[in-house]
Amino acid sequence: MKLAKRVSALTPSSTLAITAKAKELKAAGHDVIGLGAGEPDFNTPEHIIEAAEAAMKEGHTKYTPAGGLATLKEAIIKKFEQDQHIQYAANQVIVCSGAKHALYTLFQVLLDEGDEVIIPTPYWVSYPEQVKLAEGTPVYVEGKEQNHFKITPEQLESSITERTKAVIINSPSNPTGVIYSAGELKALGEVCLKHDVLIVSDEIYEKLVYDGATHTSIAELSPELKEQTIIINGVSKSHSMTGWRIGYAAGNVDIIKAMTNLASHSTSNPTSIAQYGTIAAYEGSQEPVEMMRTAFEERLTIIYKKLVQLPGFSCVKPQGAFYLFPNVSEAVKMTGFSTVDDWVEAILEEEKVALVPGSGFGAPDNVRLSYATSLDLVEKAIERIEQFMNRHM
Ligand code: PLP
């Protein structure tokens, strides 16, 4: 069967692919350490699980409104008031089946063929694919390593054309863990306001910030920037709820309405039970969120020191999320490999450590390591990488 053009160049997500390969090797009896994970290694907090169980028993097992339960939207609106000090009405919020689905739906309603979306590199793997699936054109702007992988207002402005519809800002970032300051966001926001470019602000790692760093949403910086921004967020990373598939978008009424109409013909609604769990996630104790954040911070402090001591590794210190994104171009050369992809494959084969090559994130000199796995395992993985380096140098 000949498939549609729109999927002919579609590749599976590189992060999911490496995780699957590591799982396969593990199932075959190998002692694999997978550092590809994009999800917290903690179980969902108990009170959330209990709320979902209760919802099932109470019969909340039916369709919900396409854009999400009114009570969940209220909880999300309250969260925005508390955390960002911004107000949204219920018709400015849509609950989707994960933040990924919120982004997918957004690009579907936003883009016509050839409309451009500016994507700073390194980027989360799904942004370009989602833009292309909506017949849009990704326009890459290099977040230079020496500028801590952040783009500048000048770079942003010079990449804007007649066809520019939106720019994606992901802070804290996957894969770099870097955070834009309020001042940096304001400067980028001014360029977007000047050229009427929609800001898609992916804030899924909002709660995972370290060393006293703080998260600022570009939407909270002024009423104009709030109008210009669609915030994407969800509970996958903050509350360790990746499998529940609840994320949301907030912003312009017309965009949210179009997204809701599209959802009504695609998913009908996000899973009812998961929505009840999410209400508990936002209305219940936030202690588990802080407990997980503290655990990630401890790991980062220990692992970062060890990682930068590896020969040929250099790494911008992350301030958020749960990834390290070292530049390994020197390490690759020192061990006689010609590409990072080959080097990553050899490490998986010889040392049974799964890293994600940076090529999938638009940064071919880097690799991504997730520390959303126990400290023991990450430390062991670093020892194995060191062994690999020593053997090949
Ligand atoms: N945005 C970024 C930057 C991510 O890293 C992820 C998940 O890996 C998502 C969005 C999607 O999260 P969700 O599980 O809510 O779909």
CATH of the domain at 279: 3.40.640.10
Beta-carbon count within 10 A of 159 CB = 20
Is the Cβ atom of 174 under 6 angstroms away from ligand 1?
A: yes
DSSP 367: E
220 residue type, one letter: E
Distance (Å, whole) CA 359 – CA 293 = 28
Is the Cβ atom of 247 under 6 angstroms away from ligand 1?
A: yes
Do residues 95 and 133 both lie within one domain?
Answer: yes
Rounded to the nearest angstrom, the distance between the alpha carbon of 36 and the centre of ligand 1 is 14
Rounded to the nearest angstrom, the distance between the alpha carbon of 99 and the centre of ligand 1 is 6
Do residues 325 and 204 both lie within one domain?
Answer: no
Do residues 100 and 203 both lie within one domain?
Answer: yes
Do residues 92 and 153 both lie within one domain?
Answer: yes
Do residues 341 and 247 both lie within one domain?
Answer: no
The reply to whether 331 falls in a domain is: yes
Rounded to the nearest angstrom, the distance between the alpha carbon of 25 and the centre of ligand 1 is 25
Strand duo 229-234 + 198-202: pairing: parallel
Is the Cβ atom of 353 under 6 angstroms away from ligand 1?
A: no
The length of the chain is 393
Do residues 39 and 145 both lie within one domain?
Answer: no
Examine the fold and report which residue of 263, 283, 303 is the final residue of a domain before the chain moves on.
283
The reply to whether 217 falls in a domain is: yes
Helix (H) or strand (E) holding 37, with range, is none
The reply to whether 347 falls in a domain is: yes
CA distances from 28 to 8, 22, 43, 196, 384 (A): 32, 10, 25, 53, 20
Q: Total structural domains in the chain?
A: 2
Do residues 133 and 273 both lie within one domain?
Answer: yes
Rounded to the nearest angstrom, the distance between the alpha carbon of 259 and the centre of ligand 1 is 18
Examine the fold and report which residue of 265, 283, 301 is the final residue of a domain before the chain moves on.
283
For 125, the token pair is 């793997």
Instruction: Give the pLDDT score at 15.
Output: 67
Distance (Å, whole) CA 156 – CA 161 = 10
The reply to whether 52 falls in a domain is: no
Question: Residue 212's domain spans which residues?
Answer: 62-283
Do residues 257 and 357 both lie within one domain?
Answer: no
Residue in 96, 124, 232, 271 to alter for ligand 1 test, most ligand atoms within 8 A of Cβ? 124
The reply to whether 320 falls in a domain is: yes
Beta-carbon count within 10 A of 351 CB = 20
- The residue to which tokens 């549609």 are assigned: 4
Phi, psi dihedral angles at 134 (to 5 degrees): -95, 15
Helix 375-392, helix 340-351: angle, nearest 10: 110
Strand duo 33-34 + 116-121: pairing: unpaired
Is the Cβ atom of 170 under 6 angstroms away from ligand 1?
A: yes
Strand duo 247-250 + 229-234: pairing: antiparallel
- Determine contact, residues 111/117, Cβ cutoff 8 Å: yes
Nearest ligand 1 atom, CA 173: 3
pLDDT tens over the chain, length 393 residues: 889 988 887 877 766 777 777 888 889 999 999 998 888 999 999 999 999 999 999 999 999 999 999 999 999 999 999 999 999 999 999 999 999 999 999 999 999 999 999 999 999 999 999 999 999 999 999 999 999 999 999 999 999 999 999 999 999 999 999 999 999 999 999 999 999 999 999 999 999 999 999 999 999 999 999 999 999 999 999 999 999 999 999 999 999 999 999 999 999 999 999 999 999 999 999 999 999 999 999 999 999 999 999 999 999 999 999 999 999 999 999 999 999 999 998 999 999 999 999 999 999 999 999 999 999 999 999 999 999 999 999
Do residues 247 and 307 both lie within one domain?
Answer: no
Distance (Å, whole) CA 386 – CA 132 = 39
Instruction: Give the pLDDT score at 323.
Output: 97
Going edge to edge, which strands form the sheet with 247-250?
Answer: 93-96, 247-250, 229-234, 198-202, 164-170, 116-121, 137-142
Rounded to the nearest angstrom, the distance between the alpha carbon of 273 and the centre of ligand 1 is 20
- Determine contact, residues 85/218, Cβ cutoff 8 Å: no
* Residue 346 CB contacts under 8 Å (≥ 6 apart), including other chains: 337, 388
Do residues 278 and 226 both lie within one domain?
Answer: yes
Is the Cβ atom of 14 under 6 angstroms away from ligand 1?
A: no
Is the Cβ atom of 236 under 6 angstroms away from ligand 1?
A: yes
Do residues 169 and 256 both lie within one domain?
Answer: yes
The reply to whether 168 falls in a domain is: yes
Beta-carbon count within 10 A of 301 CB = 12
Complex-level ipTM beyond the 0.85 threshold: yes
The reply to whether 49 falls in a domain is: no
Q: Comparing C-alpha atoms, which of 47, 379, 93, 376 is closest to residue 241?
A: 47
Do residues 129 and 275 both lie within one domain?
Answer: yes
Look at ligand 1, atom 8, and give the residue with the nearest C-alpha. 38
Nearest ligand 1 atom, CA 39: 8
CA distances from 276 to 115, 209, 257 (A): 37, 27, 22
Q: Comparing C-alpha atoms, which of 321, 316, 299 is closest to residue 380?
A: 299
For 93, the token pair is 């919020």
Examine the fold and report which residue of 246, 263, 283 is the final residue of a domain before the chain moves on.
283
Rounded to the nearest angstrom, the distance between the alpha carbon of 370 and the centre of ligand 1 is 14
Instruction: Give the pLDDT score at 14.
Output: 67
Rounded to the nearest angstrom, the distance between the alpha carbon of 323 and the centre of ligand 1 is 13
Helix/strand/coil percentages in the chain, nearest 5 = 50, 15, 35
The reply to whether 54 falls in a domain is: no
